[in-house]
Amino acid sequence: MAKAERLDRTFRALGRRLRVAQWNLDGKRTLRRPLLVLNGIGMNLELIDGLARMLAPRRVVSFDMPGIGKSSDPLVPYNAVTMAMTASIVLDRLGIDRADVLGISWGGGIAQQLALQHRPRIGRLVLAATSAGVIMAPGSAVDLARLVDPAAFTAGKTLHRTLALLTNGGGRGAPVSLNAATPPSLLGWTYQLASLVGWSSVPLLPWLDVPTLILAGDEDQVVPAWNARFLHALIPDSRLKLIEGGGHLFMLSHPREFVMELERFLDANAAVESA
């Protein structure tokens, strides 16, 4: 059985010093493509550690966004275009020509931009608990207000409370340990929040020719499931799966169901696509 180990590295990409993690490096010897995970707002990579280990022997890659986790604060603001370029550079630095991509919440916007901007680098695309950007069905006003409140993310106790509320977000799931969450810097959180202001993938999604799976919690009060249906309607030949009883971070509260759906999709025609 492959060892579900994690290896952390730090290097610069587009002037940003990033902490990059890889799990399941024995997966280099499998036919499965590596999986690049782009996290939600304020989420350090330790929060997906359990999911990455469940995906062994698949090689999993992720990185802390600027000012999040152990990545240095950003020197200048960034946007979806520059962060998609950064993700592509991370793949280059790790010697990965082509990867599958999972975008979670905020990271789903970057994942869409990456697939549109660097199509040859992408095998399959998974969008979880996300939207098409500014053209979206808004969620609960209380939850959205919490998302734009720096006090809810940049202090340890309030961050854990915020993530706990977002994890269920109206849904029903197993209790989730959030002890691994670390508060982002105020600058990192602010720039990450601002990076998708005014951004929308809607005009280009009908031309997205990447095999795409869209996952959403059917009780998500932050990014309601209507947004997943909207993405499904715009992206040609995409697949849609609603996680019953899932809140916004259903991948943490329903990990087995999430990983099952993820692997089923990523492994479909994997040998053919890798040829």
Here the CATH number for the domain that contains residue 195 is 3.40.50.1820
Q: What DSSP assignment string belongs to 197-244?
A: TT-B-TTTGGG--S-EEEEEETT-SSS-THHHHHHHHHSTT-EEEEET
Structure tokens at 261: 């759906």
Q: Residue 246 falls within a domain, yes or no?
A: yes
For residues 232-251, average pLDDT: 94
What's the domain count of the chain? 1
- Whole-prediction pTM value? 0.91
Question: What pLDDT is attached to residue 273?
Answer: 59
Residue whose structure tokens are 């782009």: 38
State the helix-helix crossing angle for 106-117 and 80-93, rounded to 10 degrees.
70
Q: Model confidence at 5, in pLDDT bands (50, 70, 90)? A: confident
Average pLDDT value over all residues in the chain: 88
Q: Which DSSP letter does residue 73 get?
A: P
Question: What pLDDT is attached to residue 170?
Answer: 47
Question: What pLDDT is attached to residue 15?
Answer: 82
Of the ranges 62-76, 130-144, 211-225, 232-246, which one carries the lowest mean pLDDT score? 130-144
In this predicted structure, the answer to whether residue 146 has a pLDDT above a threshold of 60 is yes
Question: What pLDDT is attached to residue 138?
Answer: 72
Q: Model confidence at 1, in pLDDT bands (50, 70, 90)? A: very low
Beta bridge partners of 200: 133
Beta bridge partners of 36: 61, 101
Phi and psi at 81, nearest 5°, equal -65, -50
Most confident stretch, 3-17, 29-43, 88-102, 159-173: 88-102
Higher pLDDT, 209 or 157: 209
In this predicted structure, the answer to whether residue 203 has a pLDDT above a threshold of 70 is yes
Range of the domain at 96: 6-269
Q: Which DSSP letter does residue 46 get?
A: G
Question: What pLDDT is attached to residue 78?
Answer: 95
Q: What percent of the chain has pLDDT over 70?
A: 83
Beta bridge partners of 13: 16
Q: Model confidence at 159, in pLDDT bands (50, 70, 90)? A: confident
Q: What percent of the chain has pLDDT over 90?
A: 64
Beta bridge partners of 6: 23
Q: Which residues does the annotation mark as catalytic?
A: 105
For residue 173, give the nearest of 228, 251, 238, 112 by alpha carbon: 251
Question: What pLDDT is attached to residue 28?
Answer: 66
Higher pLDDT, 135 or 117: 117
Most confident stretch, 23-32, 39-48, 164-173: 39-48
Amino acid of residue 116: L
Question: What pLDDT is attached to residue 173?
Answer: 59
* CA–CA separation, 151 and 157 (whole Å): 10
Q: Residue 274 falls within a domain, yes or no?
A: no
Q: Residue 1 falls within a domain, yes or no?
A: no
In this predicted structure, the answer to whether residue 53 has a pLDDT above a threshold of 60 is yes
